[in-house]
Structure 1
Amino acid sequence: MKHLDYLLRPATLDDLDVMEKFSKAAAFSIRTLKPDRARLAARIERSLLAFAGSEAPNGDEIYHFVLEDMRAGRVVGTSGIVASAAANGRFYCYRNEFLAHGSEELGITNREHTLRLCEELSGHTLLSSFYIEPEYSATLAPQLLSRGRLLFIRNYPQLFAERIGAENPGLCDDGGNSPVWDALGHRFFKMPLLEAEQRTGGRSKSFIAELMPRMPVYVSLLSKEAQWAMGQLHPDAELPFGILVAEGFDVDSYVDIFDGGPIAEARVAMLRSVVSALNVALRGDAGAEGEACLVANMERTGFRATLAQGKFLDDALQMARPAIQRLGLAEGARACAVRVT
């Protein structure tokens, strides 16, 4: 697996079997991929329509990708983009805030961590559905799987919001028990976390606002277990989370209303991959060396992204011809490229 022969492309119905496998392998860390074959097929079909651009964008689009190991001849990962969080409603989460309470007479000042139910991420574009087979975690493949989406957003800004977010799963055991949910959400929903996740199907349902407290929640009044778990990350999410942090996402302002996992948020135009990406002409070189690059074509329906060793030469990128072919391009074609490190 010490190679760069990977391809990121739109998912098709031919990928349904492997998508179902991924959804079962990561039951608690991919909220948007439930192990339901019919729902997965509908998601892929919806994604294909979005990539095709046959209808005017309305914010309800999703774009779903798969990552192929070209040498192994199989799909090894998946990721997605939701064009607009709660396109037809409101996206609810908690905002971390701090309130100061003091008594001059007693000489006591307290700084209290509070959670405020908010809708500030409504309309944000969301990164979603990241999963890669564990044996690939130490390769450059996760970089392509995560950051390749950002190049697609960079090339088609009219399809997405100016700000972007990414939900990250909080602490939860194999049985679906969450300290944050047990201490907070369960008191208002009166049901286990997994049932609440299934019945809401997202963070945009009106009954979230109807049931959850509107007044600030003082974290210090929750159980010790919940206080410790608030804002903590599920171990399965450390890899994609680290890539988001390196991109420049703020990960301290928002947490999920269900399991307390951190929600990353940023301005698209300020992300590392977007700022650093260059439009280049591709030049083929059978013995190309240089630095590792992430390269994407400029197409929508036929979007492709790959990794390659390349040399930036003025307005061009010199890279191996097989990598150019993986993008569905010929020498001299224009592409978008960014350094991996």
Structure 2
Amino acid sequence: MTIFLSLDPRRADDVHNAAAELWRQYLFMGRHLESVSSPSPVDVPSIPCHQSHLEDWRLELQSRNGVLRSLPHDPFIGLTIRGYFFRGVMSSGGSATVYSVFKDGKVFAAKVSHPRNTEPGEASKVWTNEYSILSQVQHKNIIKAYDLFEHNGRQVLILEYVGGCNLAEFMDRRCVARRQSSIKKIMKQVLDVLQYLHQNNVAHQDITPSHILIEQSGKVKIINFGDATRLGKNSMYPQNEAGDVQDDIIKSFDVWRFGASVYETLTGKTPHFIGPDRSEPDVSGVHSPDRKLMLLIKKCLDLNPLTRITAKVALKHVYFKRFSTTFH
């Protein structure tokens, strides 16, 4: 089957979305593309680096679109719901606020949906899907989910508390010269998660720097499974005789987003390509680029999802030879 790419690969923002369009066009040739991705109400904000200890949770609420304007008026602070005491706001995004909560002497994170005009049933379905997937996957680098319930029409997802910061914040706190050496351990853990998910017929579909959390020990936790989907016979996508190929393309999008996340944290921009055929990632902004790392990024950012490197193969890449567990 021929895949036509309607985007202009010379524009950085178009190239950034090229991989998604490739597999969408492959799967939904002749269909309306908008049927592929429904808006997700579970865009999880990241946890700031300085909030590693309970006594430091004094972050002012970072609200968007005027959803919550000030901390004193937050409707959840001070409440005890199903035994969870809502102590403070950790962060807030466009569609959810994350609170620090306590129950039985333990600290958890509670992600609460914002009131939206979307159909209640549709929003509930998305959150239920995230909780269901998180309850079934068992991996040390995937955030754990403990409970899901509704309170006054809003979804509440109880999650494992993860201290530390996200990948973008982590890299911002390192000098340019040390960024490449600092990212190797993180990359290996993320790829290990992707390999695990793909082997179990799950695609994350939203790997970004803000969804890769890093604890002070250097341990990675992947969050935000709101857009995650099951593949195979339980897939939400239409299946045909080439079902396995379709699943491989969807999995390859995770690898693309992983490569794009690494590229962005090293260069400060979305993937941009140069060369006669516009297929060579522009790494001019990387300080003394590691040749092996650049080669791996190029394989992850292959615009053809059918030839893009898989997570399993990427873990065996020469870049990870002589891998050190030391965290810089």
TM range (shorter): under 0.3
TM-score w.r.t. length of structure 2? 0.26
Which of the pair is proportionally richer in helix? 2
More strand, by proportion: 1
Q: Which has the larger radius of gyration?
A: 1
